[in-house]
Amino acid sequence: MLKVAVLVSGRGTNLEAILKEKHKGNLEKCEISCVISNNKEAYALEVAKSYDVSAIAICEKKQKDFENKLLKKLNDRDIGLVVLAGFIKILSPSFIISYNKPIINVHPALIPSFCGKGYYGLKVHQAALEKGVKVSGATVHFVNEIPDGGKIILQKAVEVKEGDTPEILQKRIMEEAEWVLLPKAIDLISRENL
């Protein structure tokens, strides 16, 4: 059974999509062991508790202190997969090397478009709308030392519609792509189909 830790910073919508799939009896080859946030006020911690999943806040200001505590929590719990689900901190190359197990991220665009440092949240959708793209979507990828630079696991396109605002586009991409792709990627990894 693959032990999974989900890292979050905000509302926990992607986390909830994962937990719903697990609750339905899917994701049977993995256990969502804990949810860890860099923000003690993150609503995602409440979402975790509502599914009886351990919710942990690590609120160290210094990156190195945060990552040292995070690495200890992951190792203590024998975590085999880390899922970044709305986690806004960028993990350092030294952390990625030290952890040395798969880390995946969901990005709210079709990589290589609108990705990399500085592209997160509504900024991604604003950039897509300013460029006038007709299709956007989401990507789940492995995390490496380059922000949004790891190997792509899954992608799903979502239509950009006339009159979309960043908020409307964000909601459609979450519902049609992110909430579908992230549990699917976890399932593939837990079944060692990657």
- Residue 166's CATH number: 3.40.50.170
Q: What is the pLDDT of residue 192?
A: 86
Radius of gyration for the chain, computed over Cα atoms and rounded to the nearest angstrom: 16
Judged by phi (left if over 0) then psi (alpha if -120 to 50, else beta), residue 29 lies in alpha
Residue of 23, 107, 125, 141 with catalytic role: 107
Question: What is residue 32's three-state secondary structure?
Answer: strand
Known catalytic residue at 125: no
Per-residue pLDDT tens listing for the chain (194 residues) = 999 999 999 999 999 999 999 999 999 999 999 999 999 999 999 999 999 999 999 999 999 999 999 999 999 999 999 999 999 899 999 999 999 999 999 999 999 999 998 898 899 999 999 999 999 999 999 999 999 999 999 999 999 999 999 999 999 999 999 999 999 999 999 998 65
pLDDT at 3: 97
Q: What is the pLDDT of residue 117?
A: 87
Output the pLDDT for position 193: 61
Number of domains into which the chain is organized = 1
What pLDDT score does 194 carry? 55
- Report how far apart the first and last C-alpha atoms of the chain are (Å, whole number): 16
Q: Which of 12, 182, 175 is nearest to 86 (CA)?
A: 12
Round to whole Å and give the CA distance between 4 and 77.
9
Range of the domain at 55: 2-190
